[in-house]
Amino acid sequence: MAKHVCPYWVGYLLSNRLRKLLQGPSRVLGPYVKPDVAVLDVGSAMGFFSIPMARMVGPGGKVVCVDLQPKMLDVLARRAAKAGVSDRIETHVCSSASLCLDGREASFDFALAFAVLHEVPDQARCLGELHRLLKPGATLLLAEPKSRVTTAEFEQTVACAREMGFAVSKRPYIRSARAVLLTTAMT
């Protein structure tokens, strides 16, 4: 079933000052994103989290940003150049049915899916893809806005993630969001 997709212009609003106070990228992601790791940002939009993650991984790391909307990724690429982190950011346009990252299985240490799963028509398929793209023992931070996703809907997503092979490791507190930290098995 087709889902509402955040319009392109909303991408500009996602980087506002209030959000930086509520969901500051260093506070939200600092515990998980370390130097030299490979990170996947699904539904990255214009890079509210991707650009800070590119700073966190440093010159030896990589942040792969995937989004449905090429215009979001164009702005992200310009912002990355301005921030001096283009060398470690890759952008990929995907389809609503697939992340289109064939050949990159088991290559990411950490993935972020922030405020995107509720826009994805087939969550099971997307979570299955994410599971395959992550290395053994890797982590996915899944967060959804409280304003759009009820507790029951979020728990359905978490149950679906479990069915796809993820284990729940933690329920981190993120203001205005429902969040879960998921891990893949070590082997």
From the list 38, 45, 80, 142, which residue makes contact with ligand SAM (rule: CB under 6 A)?
45
**Minimum distance from CB of 157 to ligand SAM (Å)?**
14
From the list 37, 38, 69, 142, which residue makes contact with ligand SAM (rule: CB under 6 A)?
69
In the block, which residue shows the tokens 């599971």? 131
Q: Is 39 in the site for ligand SAM (CB under 6 A)?
A: no
Q: Which stretch binds ligand SAM (CB under 6 A): 30-38, 40-48, 102-110, 161-169?
A: 40-48
Binding pattern to ligand SAM, positions 113-132, x when CB under 6 A? -xxx--xx------------
From CA 103, how far away is CA 182, in angstroms rounded? 22
Q: Is 160 within 8 Å of 127 (Cβ atoms)? A: yes
From CA 158, how far away is CA 142, in angstroms rounded? 9
Residue with CB nearest ligand SAM?
43
**Minimum distance from CB of 187 to ligand SAM (Å)?**
29
How far CA 48 is from CA of 102, 138, 157, 174, 186, in Å, comes to 25, 22, 23, 15, 30
**Minimum distance from CB of 48 to ligand SAM (Å)?**
4
| Phi (first) and psi of residue 49, to 5 degrees | -95, -30
Which has the closest alpha carbon to 42: 88, 102, 111?
111
Q: Which residues contact 47 (CB under 8 A, 6 or more apart)?
A: 41, 65, 75, 76, 79, 80, 89
From the list 33, 57, 68, 179, which residue makes contact with ligand SAM (rule: CB under 6 A)?
68
Return residues touching ligand SAM (CB under 6 A).
Answer: 5-6, 14, 42-45, 48-49, 66-69, 72, 94, 96, 114-116, 119-120
